[in-house]
Amino acid sequence: MKEIERRRTFAIISHPDAGKTTLTEKLLLYGGAIHMAGSVKARKVSRYAVSDWMEIEKQRGISVTSSVMQFQYQGFCINILDTPGHQDFSEDTYRTLVAADSAVMLLDGAKGVEAQTIKLFHVCRMRQIPIFTFINKLDRAIKDPFTLMQDLEDVLGIRSYPINWPIGTDGDFKGVYNRQLRQIELFTGDRSHGQAIVASTKGSVDDPVFKDLLGEPYYSRLVEEIELLDMAGDEFDLGRVLKGELTPIFFGSAMTNFGVSPFLEEFLKMAPPPGSRVFGDKVISPEDQDFTGFVFKIQANMNPKHRDRIAFIRICSGVFQRGMEAIHSGPEKIVRLAQPQQLMAQEREVIEKAYPGDIVGLFDPGIFRISDVLSARGGLVFTGIPSFPAEHFARVSAKDTMKRKQFLKGIIQLAQEGAIQLYKEPDIGIEEFIVGAVGVLQFEVLEYRLKNEYSVDLNMQMLPHHYARWIVSSPDEPAKLNLTSSTRIIRDSRENYVLLFENEWSIQWAKDKNKGLELSDISP
Ligand code: G4P
């Protein structure tokens, strides 16, 4: 119970460039996991690449170490999950957020809510997890804080409650005022440019020393703004925060470290410890004695030298011990959980024990799939990760027919990781596939990874289809159905028949012309 209570597992969501890498690094700095900021950041390569994902992937290994980071702070054990930097809505992001118990939404104070923030916010909403807002880059001129609060409400439809309020916002950021403690904290910059923890002075707002330190204009502005907030703003309600209806706001500068520790301390108090997860008709609570965990991410070739593949497991209940045995759902076979990895900031570490809320990476000899369950008793199915229907399709083959073997290996591997959905056209050999994706960027990722990890150049031809429908029941065999000329009959990786349609009109046509034909947009 003690181990569960002190755990906090969360993801940071943000638009590229808002400062996610910088903030993550500063949290590690405050947690003592790194001693000098700059070590994580320095490895981030040049920007403006096709996507953040590829940018990071260019230096493989970084994503390994930044997939999950664990550190300790004031008795808490913190797990930060890295959300993939895809620009599209992606299934990966959803899966990562299923493993998190809360999210930190990071905004650039000068920009407010941006396009990618909106998408990621909605993914969190679907999961109904608490969302904490950190408004960053206060060392520069930012939008008026009241306008930013209005932005959250207008664009995202969420009410907010500033836990702290900035003092000096026009590029002259001095500190924050904690509304609940009625306390001012002023920071003193040093010469390390944010590489080291900053010093601060803390005390009651009523202490006359702050009036002197801040000077009359800043002090009276603060008093005025606080009065306005107390009068016109929402009341703090932890229940609403936990339901994801009210977002607590923090202000700070990840670059200078001003506001980082006040955020971390209050966030840790409010953020929920590991919560229950639903497995079919069973709810597994973290306090359950028996071990349970599910696979939310699979990543191959994290280290090109080793060609390894790691399955990331979120522990939901019980205690994980190195070398323990668990029942693997699906085949319901016993597997030994050897060589568990915890992926720390800098290096992989073999772990002996882990608790609910923790993420462990297991070496995967190719047996795991997304959503698989590992449990002490077996018989569990994890239903928390929905599969989103693909909306874009392309036909792919290897440019060089001599590379057929690598092509096959790579494409199957990436489908198992959940990077793309894989289909076949009947009567066509293994040299050609149809791939499906929720966002078009996934195709670029596919092309890039096949080239870099399997040395295969792809021929890719986009298809005009946007709807995949599985045949649930049919009056006739698929080839004999009466379909529009553009409709394609394909099969998924488990040999189920799927119809690919260009538009909704042709789906209706198929149903009208074939009495008894039943279709589903979810794979059986
Ligand atoms: P990301 O992971 O969200 O994409 O953002 P990242 O941390 O890489 O930050 C993007 C840029 O914003 C970087 O500047 C970074 O230094 C800057 N930044 C992050 N936090 C703050 C902050 O609190 N204040 C200010 N003023 N800037 C901040 P860059 O010029 O692109 O890179 P660099 O040369 O500084 O490394």
| Alpha carbon of 268 to ligand 1 centroid (Å) | 24
Q: State in Å: Cα 198 to ligand 1 middle.
A: 18
Looking at the structure, do residues 397 and 323 belong to the same domain, yes or no? no
Is 149 in the same domain as 190? Answer: yes
Q: Is 18 in the pocket of ligand 1 (CB under 6 A)?
A: yes
Q: Whose CA is nearest to atom 18 of ligand 1?
A: 19
In a shared domain, residues 80 and 214: yes
pLDDT computed for residue 339 by the predictor: 67
How many angstroms separate the alpha carbon of residue 108 from the centre of ligand 1?
A: 10
* 137 CB within 6 A, ligand 1: yes
313 CA distance to ligand 1 centroid (A)? 31
How many whole angstroms from 22 Cα to the centroid of ligand 1? 6
How many A from CA of 67 to the centre of ligand 1?
Answer: 20
Please check whether residue 41 lies inside any domain of the structure.
Answer: yes
The two structure tokens encoding residue 127: 């999961």
Is the domain of 344 the same as that of 229? no
CATH of the domain at 356: 2.40.30.10
Does the residue 387 lie in any domain? no
What residues have CB less than 8 Å from 143, skipping those under 6 apart? 109, 110, 111, 112, 151
Q: Which of 117, 255, 256 to mutate to test the pocket of ligand 1 (most atoms within 8 A of CB)?
A: 255
- Is residue 319 helix, strand or coil? coil
Please identify, among 254, 270, 286, the residue that sits at the C-terminal boundary of a domain.
Answer: 270
Nearest CA to ligand 1 atom 21: 255
Last residue of a domain, one of 249, 270, 291: 270
Q: Residue 255 C-alpha to ligand 1 middle, in angstroms?
A: 7
| 316 shares its domain with 249 | no
Give me ligand 1 centre to Cα 441, in Å.
24
CA–centroid distance, residue 407 to ligand 1 (Å): 38
CATH number for position 510: 3.30.70.3280
Can you give the pLDDT at residue 115? 86
Q: Is residue 248 part of a domain?
A: yes
Is 385 inside a domain boundary?
no
Is there a single domain that holds both residue 463 and residue 364?
no
DSSP output for 49-111: SS-HHHHHHTTTTHHHHHHEEEEEETTEEEEEEPPP--SS--HHHHHHHHH-SEEEEEEETTT
Residue with the nearest Cα to atom 35 of ligand 1? 255
- From 229, 286, 252, select the one nearest 175 (Cα to Cα): 252
Atom of ligand 1 nearest to the CA of 136: 23
Q: Which of 135, 18, 138, 171 is nearest to 83 (CA)?
A: 18
Centre of ligand 1 from the C-alpha of residue 403, in Å? 41
pLDDT of residue 32: 80
Beta bridge partners of 497: 491
Q: What is the CATH number of the domain that holds 70?
A: 3.40.50.300
Regarding whether 13 and 137 lie in a shared domain, the answer is yes
Six-digit token string for 100: 């998190």
Residue 22 beta carbon below 6 angstroms from any ligand 1 atom: yes
Do 330 and 442 share a domain, yes or no? Answer: no
pLDDT digits (tens), the chain, 524 positions: 999 999 999 999 998 889 988 898 899 889 887 665 554 444 443 332 223 334 434 443 333 334 778 889 999 999 998 776 555 556 778 888 999 999 999 999 999 999 888 988 988 888 889 999 999 999 999 999 999 999 999 999 999 999 999 998 788 899 999 999 999 999 988 777 778 888 999 999 999 999 999 998 999 999 999 999 999 999 999 999 999 999 999 999 999 999 999 999 999 999 999 999 999 899 999 999 999 999 998 877 655 555 667 888 999 999 998 889 999 998 899 998 876 665 543 445 667 889 999 998 888 888 888 899 999 999 999 988 877 778 899 999 999 989 999 999 999 988 888 888 999 998 877 789 999 998 787 888 889 889 988 999 999 999 999 999 999 999 999 999 999 999 999 998 888 999 999 999 999 999 999 999 999 887 77
Note the pLDDT of residue 323.
86
Give yes or no: residues 435 and 342 share one domain: no
To test the pocket of ligand 1, the residue of 12, 22, 104 to mutate (highest count of ligand atoms within 8 Å of its CB) is 22
Whether the Cβ atoms of residue 22 and residue 255 lie closer than 8 Å to each other? yes
**Residues 364 and 446 grouped into a single domain:** no
3-state SS class at 8: strand
pLDDT score, position 444: 84
Please tell me the distance between residue 19's alpha carbon and the centre of ligand 1 in angstroms.
Answer: 5
Look at the chain and report how many structural domains it folds into: 3
Q: How many CB atoms lie within 10 A of CB 128?
A: 11
Residues contacting residue 339 through CB under 8 Å, at least 6 positions apart? 322, 350, 362, 363
- Does ligand 1 have an atom closer than 6 angstroms to the CB of 20? yes
- b/e code 132-144 from CB counts within 10 Å (16+ = b): bbbbbbbbeebbe
- Which atom of ligand 1 is found nearest the CA of 140? 26
Indicate if ligand 1 lies below 6 Å from the C-beta of 24.
no
- Which pLDDT value is given to residue 403? 92
Q: What is the pLDDT of residue 417?
A: 80
Residue 164 lies in a domain: yes
User: Which residue range(s) make up the domain with 432?
Assistant: 392-520
Determine, yes or no, domain membership for 386: no
Given a contact cutoff of 8 angstroms between Cβ atoms, the answer to whether 411 and 400 are in contact is no
Is 380 within a domain?
A: no
Q: What is the pLDDT of residue 384?
A: 83
Is the Cβ atom of 26 under 6 angstroms away from ligand 1? no
Q: Does 290 share its domain with 261?
A: no
Q: Is residue 190 part of a domain?
A: yes
Which residues, 6 or more positions from 296, have their beta carbon under 8 angstroms from its beta carbon? Answer: 95, 96, 98, 99, 312, 313, 314, 370, 371, 385
Check whether residue 244 and residue 102 sit in a common domain.
Answer: yes
**Ligand 1 binding pocket includes 136 (Cβ within 6 Å):** yes
Confidence at residue 155, expressed as pLDDT on a 0 to 100 scale: 97
Q: Report the nearest atom of ligand 1 relative to the CA of 25.
A: 7
- Cα distances from 513 to residues 72, 237, 484, in angstroms, run 63, 56, 10
Confirm or reject: Cβ of 21 under 6 Å from ligand 1: yes
Give the closest residue (by CA) to ligand 1 atom 17. Answer: 19
**Phi/psi at 473 (5° precision):** -150, 150
Residue 446 alpha carbon to ligand 1 centre in Å: 28
CB 415 within 8 A of CB 494: no
Identify the residue whose C-alpha is closest to ligand 1 atom 30. Answer: 17
Residue from 122, 130, 138, 207 nearest 161 by CA? 130
Is the CB of 490 within 6 Å of ligand 1?
Answer: no
Q: What is the DSSP letter of 226?
A: H
Task: Tell which of 345, 375, 405 closes a domain.
Answer: 375
Q: Ligand 1, atom 19: nearest CA belongs to which residue?
A: 19
For the CA of 44, the nearest atom of ligand 1? 8
Any ligand 1 atom below 6 A from CB of 107? no
C-alpha 344 to ligand 1 mean position (Å): 22
Instruction: Calculate how far, in angstroms, residue 20's C-alpha sits from the geometric centre of ligand 1.
Output: 8
- Is residue 15 within 6 Å of ligand 1 at its C-beta? no
